[in-house]
Amino acid sequence: SAVISQKPSRDICQRGTSLTIQCQVDSQVTMMFWYRQQPGQSLTLIATANQGSEATYESGFVIDKFPISRPNLTFSTLTVSNMSPEDSSIYLCSVRQGGETQYFGPGTRLLVL
């Protein structure tokens, strides 16, 4: 299975600022995704990170708030822009490998004050 790392692992940020989260995979993968997990909740898909083109966002998520880059098949970034306390969540990078098997990174724990 793919080995996924995320940086930072956690951060505490002030409202109004932005944070960029990095996701690195140890092998080339076609599909990469970004999820949000709010406290005590399940996982919600933010967007599919497309290599060489704009990300595909789910309903309720917009590019201005969550810009995503995917410059190659092993790396992606998610930026949480103009943060508010409601953005406090775990942000998870995920990749699909071997058909429909999907793996997750360790997550980035974000607290916005």
27 contacts another protein (rule: CB under 8 A): no
Nearer to another protein, 74 or 108 (CB): 108
64 contacts another protein (rule: CB under 8 A): no
5 contacts another protein (rule: CB under 8 A): no
Counting residues that bind another protein (by CB under 8 A) gives 25
Q: What is the CB-side half-sphere exposure of residue 74 using CA atoms within 13 A?
A: 8
60 contacts another protein (rule: CB under 8 A): no
65 Ramachandran zone, left/alpha/beta (phi>0; psi -120 to 50): alpha
105 contacts another protein (rule: CB under 8 A): yes
Query: How many Cβ atoms from other residues are within 10 Å of residue 40's Cβ?
Result: 5
Q: What is the DSSP string of 91-109?
A: EEEEEEETTTEEEE---EE
Cα–Cα nearest to 34, from 91, 86, 72 = 91
- Which of these ranges, 13-21, 41-49, 61-69, 79-87, lies near another protein under the rule CB under 8 A? 41-49
By the criterion CB under 8 A, which residues form the site for another protein?
A: 1, 4, 31, 33, 41-45, 48, 58, 90, 92, 94, 96, 99-107, 109
